[in-house]
């Protein structure tokens, strides 16, 4: 997505912001001179270690890194106890805004008590260090409480986004071998009750999961089936548990969580993150990129805890930094399109972190909506999930930030655990559309296809040169796939899967994924995963899926399918297939359009040329199709798309 306006205009940080910034220019030099020493210093400064580490980085068996390996810590202690012990127990940790208008505040002391109760209850259910717990919850405080309770016990959580289907939940539970599931009866979305518990029942109904217990939070009060001996209400159990819990300390490399994300094949990858290095870089980016000022800031990251953004910048980052944060349950248009701005005004939010797709939606709704609210508490804005087009950047800066707030465009991935490329807001003049530079201590490059030369001005592939503290430690139970996906393309170098280019100032611009991964509203979806859901439908013989440019969501899922004999090409069938994908994977994966076609473009070796389908989906002249086995196929496809 490009626009014609001058893209090189920059915005220097306001002088007061620059003067008070936590991190100054010298950090770049220190991070580059000795990256291990730099991260050791950040870690000792920002993390409370129960036992200090003697070794910083163990890279003796690449690509399997260990950071701070002989240190011991408890991540939940770092998020809670230490703030209470420092006398900040009365500071608000979470201001929760429910969609129907209810709200709830939890101080650090109260949150510590809630997490302790949950940890005691999980212990009663048999959860121990090294176990896995699946969390399938809406955006309510219990989501964060559950994650921290697992961390407190040294058990890894696997949060499954509440918008994912029963099947997606089931396969993730099985892969992670979770013993316990924490869920809720339901949630509020767009003014309606949605349900979650039935999906858990369905996921467990085959009897092929290792789940022994299900804890159910009551959020909406709707009727749910409770299975005797397996299911218990949170309010009957956790609420009555002891609010005292002594944290044990675990190795720095103890698993903290597994989070499933889409790759280029149909099977989601369980990305594994561990404790000490992860917490170090999450805290450093809170300090350096979000310029966290825990005494005065009110932080609001609008992401769901089902995504990595909600792990690093809802559950862990703001709490480990001792900040007050806002959590909102629902959608931006309930009860009206001013909801986010009402929340900013009411809570005096200082730091807002959102996705470009949301910004573009607000642009469409019009600037008179935010204009009705007092947004002067804001001092810093963040963007994440996909490239932000300069036009949306400028709107965000002017309309939401009142022209006074720096914007940090943060590039990172589920795999990187925390920010990797983003401007330091008190140091760099920001540039609409560019994520600019790696943060201090991180080393990236943009290379050509061979990996041997820097890419030219037209761009190339983004790679990461050195290990970093919050890097993934692997793919759960699949070390070969870990090596193959990220470390096989170039030697000893991490291949991110993103295209990028550097401008004449050396600033980095992202160009989108170079693999078969799509980015819809900042959510990662794989073409292969949706294709396999489609071909699982009895009416479908073959399917190909592409991500086509979309003004609001960045990309939209467009499917091309060949139906089996006897099934007709009708809008009803196309609609049924859309719904089917929604049911198999989740509503976010539902194709925007399903085109029923008679052929798919294939090379002589049978590989589908998605590039050509993308041309059709984006209404462009079809590109070079000379390698097709049958070059007349594209005309047939274009004709049937024109009809549908």
Q: Give the footprint of ligand WT7 on this chain (CB under 6 A).
A: 261, 307-309, 384-387, 409-414, 435, 496-498, 510, 513, 519, 522, 524
Residues 118 and 236: their CA atoms lie apart, in Å, by 12
**Per the annotation, does 246 bind a ligand?**
no
Residues 309 and 332: their CA atoms lie apart, in Å, by 18
**Per the annotation, does 387 bind a ligand?**
yes
Residue whose pair of structure tokens reads 């013989």 in the numeric block: 541
Spatial CA neighbour of 198 closest among 176, 233, 234, 222: 222
Residues 478 and 73: their CA atoms lie apart, in Å, by 27
Q: How far is the CB of 419 from ligand WT7 (least distance, A)?
A: 8
| DSSP letter string, 537-592 | STTEEEEEEEEEEETTTEEEEEEEEEEPTT----HHHHHHHHHHHHHHT-GGGS-S
Question: How buried is 448 (Cβ within 10 angstroms: 0-12 exposed, 13-18 middle, 19+ buried)?
Answer: middle
Distance, C-alpha 249 to centroid of its chain:
27
Q: How far is the CB of 284 from ligand WT7 (least distance, A)?
A: 16
Q: Which is nearer to ligand WT7, 219 or 523 (CB)?
A: 523
Q: How far is the CB of 66 from ligand WT7 (least distance, A)?
A: 23
Find the radius of gyration of the CA atoms of the chain.
24
Q: Which is nearer to ligand WT7, 220 or 309 (CB)?
A: 309
DSSP collapsed to 3 states, 439-498: CCCCCEEEECCCCCCECCCCCEEEEECCCCCCCCCEECCCHHHHHHHHHCCCCCCEEEEE
Q: Which is nearer to ligand WT7, 170 or 269 (CB)?
A: 269
Residue whose pair of structure tokens reads 């730091």 in the numeric block: 351
Give the pair of three-digit tokens for residue 272: 């594994």
Q: How far is the CB of 201 from ligand WT7 (least distance, A)?
A: 28
Contact call for residues 339 and 347 (beta carbons, < 8 A): no
Q: Which is nearer to ligand WT7, 172 or 537 (CB)?
A: 172
CB atoms closer than 10 angstroms to residue 544: 24
Q: How far is the CB of 309 from ligand WT7 (least distance, A)?
A: 5
- The secondary element (H helix, E strand) that includes residue 407 is strand 407-410
| DSSP letter string, 20-58 | H-SS-THHHHHHHH-HHHHHHHHHHHHS--SB--S-SEE
**Per the annotation, does 540 bind a ligand?**
yes
Q: How far is the CB of 413 from ligand WT7 (least distance, A)?
A: 4
Q: Where in 44-97 does DSSP place strands (E)?
A: 57-61, 64-67, 72-73, 92-97
**Per the annotation, does 411 bind a ligand?**
yes
Q: How far is the CB of 132 from ligand WT7 (least distance, A)?
A: 20
**Per the annotation, does 602 bind a ligand?**
no
Q: How far is the CB of 50 from ligand WT7 (least distance, A)?
A: 30
Q: How far is CA 560 from CA 529, 553, 563, 605, 642, in A?
A: 14, 20, 10, 20, 13
Q: How far is the CB of 564 from ligand WT7 (least distance, A)?
A: 34
| DSSP letter string, 336-356 | STTHHHHHHHHHT--EEEE-H
Q: How many CA atoms lie within 13 A of 182 on its CB side?
A: 31
**Per the annotation, does 219 bind a ligand?**
no
Q: How far is the CB of 431 from ligand WT7 (least distance, A)?
A: 13
Q: How far is CA 358 from CA 374, 553, 621, in A?
A: 19, 8, 30
**Per the annotation, does 190 bind a ligand?**
yes
Q: Which is nearer to ligand WT7, 83 or 473 (CB)?
A: 473
Q: How far is the CB of 415 from ligand WT7 (least distance, A)?
A: 7
Beta bridge partners of 367: none
Q: Which is nearer to ligand WT7, 215 or 546 (CB)?
A: 546
**Per the annotation, does 535 bind a ligand?**
yes
**Per the annotation, does 521 bind a ligand?**
yes
**Per the annotation, does 191 bind a ligand?**
yes
Dihedrals φ, ψ of 548, to 5°?
-105, 145
Q: Which is nearer to ligand WT7, 78 or 414 (CB)?
A: 414
Beta bridge partners of 94: 106, 325
Distance, C-alpha 45 to centroid of its chain:
27
Give the residue numbers of the binding site for CoA.
189-192, 309, 521
Give the residue numbers of the binding site.
189-192, 309, 385-387, 409-414, 498, 513, 521, 524, 535, 537, 540
Give the residue numbers of the binding site for Mg(2+).
535, 537, 540
């Amino acid at each position: 997505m490009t626009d014609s306006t001058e893209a090189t205009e920059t915005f220097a940080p306001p002088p007061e912001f620059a003067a008070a910034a936590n991190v100054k220019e010298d950090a770049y030099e220190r991070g580059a001179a000795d990256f291990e020493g730099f991260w050791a210093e950040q870690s000792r400064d920002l993390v409370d270690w129960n036992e200090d580490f003697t070794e910083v980085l163990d890279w003796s068996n690449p690509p399997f890194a260990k950071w701070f390996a002989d240190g011991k810590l408890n991540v939940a202690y770092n998020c809670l106890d230490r703030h209470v012990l420092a006398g900040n127990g009365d500071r608000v940790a979470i201001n929760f805004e429910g969609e129907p208008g209810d709200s709830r505040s939890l101080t650090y002391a109260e949150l510590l008590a809630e997490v302790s109760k949950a940890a005691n209850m999980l212990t009663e259910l048999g959860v121990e260090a090294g176990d896995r717990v699946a969390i399938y919850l809406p955006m309510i405080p219990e989501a964060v409480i559950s994650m921290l309770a697992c961390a407190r016990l040294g058990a890894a959580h696997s949060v499954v986004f509440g918008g994912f289907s029963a099947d997606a939940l089931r396969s993730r539970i099985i892969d992670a071998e979770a013993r316990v599931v924490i869920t809720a009866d339901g949630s509020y979305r767009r003014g309606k009750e949605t349900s979650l518990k039935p999906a858990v029942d369905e996921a467990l109904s085959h009897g092929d999961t290792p789940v022994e217990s299900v804890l159910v939070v009551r959020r909406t009060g709707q009727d749910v089936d409770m299975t005797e001996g397996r299911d218990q209400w949170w309010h009957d159990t956790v609420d009555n548990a002891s609010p005292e819990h002594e944290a044990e300390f675990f190795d720095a490399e103890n698993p903290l969580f597994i989070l499933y994300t889409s790759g280029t094949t149909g099977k989601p990858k369980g990305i594994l993150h561990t404790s000490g290095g992860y917490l170090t870089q999450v805290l450093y980016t809170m300090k350096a990129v979000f310029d966290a000022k825990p005494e005065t800031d009110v932080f609001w990251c609008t992401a769901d805890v089902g995504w990595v953004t909600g792990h690093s910048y809802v559950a862990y980052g703001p709490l480990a930094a001792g900040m007050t944060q806002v959590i909102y349950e629902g959608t931006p248009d309930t009860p009206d399109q001013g909801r986010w701005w009402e929340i900013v005004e009411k809570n005096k939010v200082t730091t807002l972190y959102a996705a470009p797709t949301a910004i573009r939606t607000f642009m469409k709704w019009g600037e008179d909506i935010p204009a009705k609210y007092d947004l002067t508490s804001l001092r810093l804005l963040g963007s994440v999930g996909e490239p932000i087009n300069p036009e949306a950047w400028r709107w965000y800066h002017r309309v939401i930030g009142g022209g006074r707030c720096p914007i940090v465009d943060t590039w990172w991935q589920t795999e990187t655990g925390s920010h990797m490329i983003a401007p330091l807001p008190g140091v760099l003049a920001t540039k609409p559309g560019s994520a600019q530079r790696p943060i201090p201590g991180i080393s990236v490059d943009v290379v050509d296809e061979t990996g041997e030369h820097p890419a030219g001005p037209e761009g190339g592939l983004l790679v990461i040169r050195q290990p970093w503290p919050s890097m993934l430690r692997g793919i759960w139970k699949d070390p070969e796939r870990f090596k193959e996906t990220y470390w096989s393309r170039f030697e000893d170098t991490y291949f991110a899967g993103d295209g990028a280019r550097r401008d004449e100032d050396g600033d980095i611009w992202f160009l989108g994924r170079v693999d078969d991964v799509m980015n819809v509203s900042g959510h990662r979806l794989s073409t292969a995963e949706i294709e396999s859901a489609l071909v699982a439908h009895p009416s479908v013989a073959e399917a190909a899926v592409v991500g086509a440019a979309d003004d609001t969501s960045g990309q939209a899922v467009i499917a091309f399918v060949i139906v089996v004999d006897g099934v007709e090409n009708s809008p009803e069938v196309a609609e049924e297939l859309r719904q089917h994908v929604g049911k198999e994977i989740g509503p976010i994966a539902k194709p925007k359009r399903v085109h029923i076609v008679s052929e798919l473009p294939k090379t002589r070796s049978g590989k589908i040329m998605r590039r050509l389908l993308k041309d059709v989906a984006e209404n462009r002249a079809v590109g070079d199709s000379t390698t097709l086995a049958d070059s007349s196929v594209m005309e047939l496809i274009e004709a049937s798309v024109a009809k549908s």
